[in-house]
Structure 1
Amino acid sequence: MDLQLTLVVAGLVIGIVVGMTGMGGGALMTPALVLFFNVPPLAAVSSDLVVSAVMKPVGGVVHLRRGTVDLRLVGWLCAGSVPAAFGGVLVSRALGSGAGVQQWTKIALGAALLLAAAGLILRAYQSLVARGRRAADRAAGRPVTRDEATVGGYRVRPVPTVLVGVLGGLIVGMTSVGSGSLIIIALLALYPRLSAAGLVGTDLVQAVPLVASAALGHLLFGDFRLDLTASLLVGCLPGVYLGARLSSRAPGGLVRRALALVLLASGLKLLGLPDLAMVATLGVVVVVGPLLWMSARVRHGLPPRAPILAEARARTRSERESAVPR
């Protein structure tokens, strides 16, 4: 298959995942370019950020219309992330473009992917705890209350929020990973009462200027390749639209589990773990992970296993309810 057509197909698949889950763009596209297309890490980061800068506003507009964005948080995050993202590009540029820098970028990308995988698991566990609490309320005949707020209803913490933006922006500028994974986990820790819809909407909107800043830096100082980026965009744009249409029907939980496994495998590969050790590690995760998850479900009052499609419909219904302005 022609290289450009292969890149279009890869962009389509990644776009569908982004549309379905709201994350995975940089965490999938950059390692895919490095591992499967032998694109130098710096060029992969540059192209991915420019693609993301085009895709992000589409989802951001949707969430702004639905009222699931806290513009206060967006402002404080951008105060730190926008200059830091541009600065991350300058740091990479200052290090040079030799083989040593390419290897360093590869290692930094691998570490960021492992953090992103851990963040996905953390988000899933928090959702599990919330479902267990609601199930316990229903079983006891108590009214099922929601202590989450789509926007507002909590005190904004400016300094920690700006620091999250600085750290996230620096990582995004250097590796392209983090705008939809690492920052959202930090928001989850700082604002636990922010609903799932508010969390995703706020993170997506703040990522627009963040990624635009990093993309501008890479256009000016990075290793941007127009042909590579154009092919990816041809696939990504319809993929995001299709994924968004499928998001209400597809089992998002299953997609996120697969995404976490892919992030883990990509991170380990980029960090140079031998193939045999990587296969053994993934095998342990595949076997032990579901057992630990079943144990966690039981501990929080849920059945060990639940129908994935039913759970997906319940989660979608929950997010729609939380998206209604209060």
Structure 2
Amino acid sequence: MSVTYIISGFAVGLLVGMTGVGGGSLMTPLLTLLFGVSPSVAVGTDLAFASLTKAAGTITHRVNGTVQWQIVRRLCLGALPAAIIAALALRHFGALDDRIGQVIRYSIAVSVLLTVFALMFRRRMIAWIQASPRRQLEGTTLALATIVAGAVLGTLVTVSSIGAGAIGATLLVLLYPRLTPAQVAGTDIAYAVPLTAIAAVAHWWLGSIDWALLLTLLVGSVPGITLGAWAARAVPERFLRGLLATALTGIAVKLIY
């Protein structure tokens, strides 16, 4: 089974490298549907995986100067307390309870569908905002909206391990349309490091991390991400995003039914 997990980690890493979509949108449903891993354990293991890989990515973006730390602080003001509250709620209701597992399963499905929405309509939403300067938030309103966005992402990530990738990047572009693509990627990864770390520690506290599974996923995903980043140059972005959106929609339907 470990070989199968390594292959799965490689496949997910390959897609993440090619599309930039967070691994949680792919890995968590894969573990739940294909391997029958408990939704709680799938979420906890993926969060530990994400905290390690995103920490490495943040170092690179920091060296390149593509992290907007003021935005990171605002997102963390909302995301970190929300993650703690969500973890306490899971603890109270029983993260490993079958009924809560079903709730988490539906939460994963909703998060996957939000990722699909972000993939398919991101450019249209950006164009709508950029068409009129009045639609762009500023000052205190922008700061509060960023904190609220962080709180929503913190809850989604803690419960489903999904949200810090395509959804987070889309919200950043909508709130801060003047950011360059590199700044969006760097800022999105940087705020996700403390968020996924806190959420992972919470799931470790809840007993919902499979450390052996985590290790095998890392062995496969690291070369997969590297190869995917190179392959992305040769494959049309529109084709990749359409293929990924179709696959994720099928996953969400399967999770619900």
Aligned length: 248
Match of 1:115 in 2: 114
Task: Check if 1:202 corresponds to 2:187.
Answer: yes
Of 36, 40, 43, the match for 1:42: 40
| Aligned residue type for 1:102 | G
Bigger shift: 56-65 or 72-81?
A: 56-65
**Inter-partner Cα distance in structure 1 for 2:115 and 2:207:** 24
Deviation readout 1:66-88 (Å, 9 max, x if unpaired) = 22221110111112212322332
Describe the superposition over 1:52-98 as per-residue Cα deviations: whole angstroms up to 9, x where unpaired: 11111222222222222211101111122123223322222221132
- Quote the offset at 1:212 in angstroms: 1.0
Q: What secondary structure does 1:250 align onto? A: coil
Q: Is the 8 A contact 1:31 1:266 kept in 2?
A: yes
Task: Give the alignment of 1:1-326 within 5 angstroms.
Answer: 3-96=1-94, 97-125=96-124, 157-272=142-257
Q: Is the 1:57–1:208 Cα contact (8 Å) retained in structure 2?
A: yes
Gaps of 5+ in 2: none
Cα drift, residue 124 of structure 1: 4.1
C-alpha displacement of 1:161:
0.8
Deviation at 1:155, TM superposition (A): 5.4
Unpaired segments ≥5 residues, structure 1: 134-146, 148-153, 273-326
Q: Judging by fraction of residues, say which structure has more helix.
A: 2
Determine the C-alpha separation between the residues in 2 that align with 1:171 and 1:126: 21
The CA deviation string for residues 214-265 of structure 1, in whole angstroms up to 9 with x for no partner, is: 1111112241111211111111122222222333343333222211111111
Cα offset, 1:28, TM superposition: 0.3
Q: What amino acid sits opposite 2:150 in the alignment?
A: G
Give the TM-score of the pair, scaled to structure 1.
Answer: 0.71
Tell me how far apart the structure 1 counterparts of residues 173 and 198 of structure 2 sit (CA, whole Å).
Answer: 24
In structure 1, C-alpha distance between the alignment counterparts of 2:236 and 2:89, rounded to whole Å:
40
Supply the distance in 1 between the matched residues of 2:34 and 2:49 (Cα, whole angstroms). Answer: 18
Cα contact 2:25–2:115 (8 A) shared by 1: yes
Task: Tell me the SS of whatever aligns to 2:172.
Answer: helix
Q: Secondary structure in 2 aligned to 1:248? A: coil
Higher relative contact order (CA closer than 8 Å, sequence separation 6+): 2
Aligned to 1:320: none
CA distance in 2, matches of 1:249, 1:13: 17
Counterpart Cα distance in 2 of 1:170 and 1:84? 6
Aligned mates of 1:98, 1:57 — CA distance in 2: 31
- Which has the greater radius of gyration? 1
Q: SS in structure 2 opposite 1:89?
A: helix
1:178, 1:222 → 2: CA distance? 22
CA distance in 1, matches of 2:159, 2:171: 18
Q: TM-score, normalised by structure 2?
A: 0.89
| Structure 1 residue 183: Cα displacement | 1.9
Output the CA distance in 2 between the equivalents of 1:20 and 1:170.
27
Distance (whole Å) between structure 2 residues aligned to residue 261 and residue 223 of structure 1? 30
- Asked if structure 2 preserves the Cα contact closer than 8 Å seen for 1:25 and 1:52, the reply is yes
Question: Distance between the aligned counterparts of 1:126 and 1:68, measured in 2?
Answer: 23
In the alignment, residue 14 of structure 1 is paired with which amino acid? Answer: V
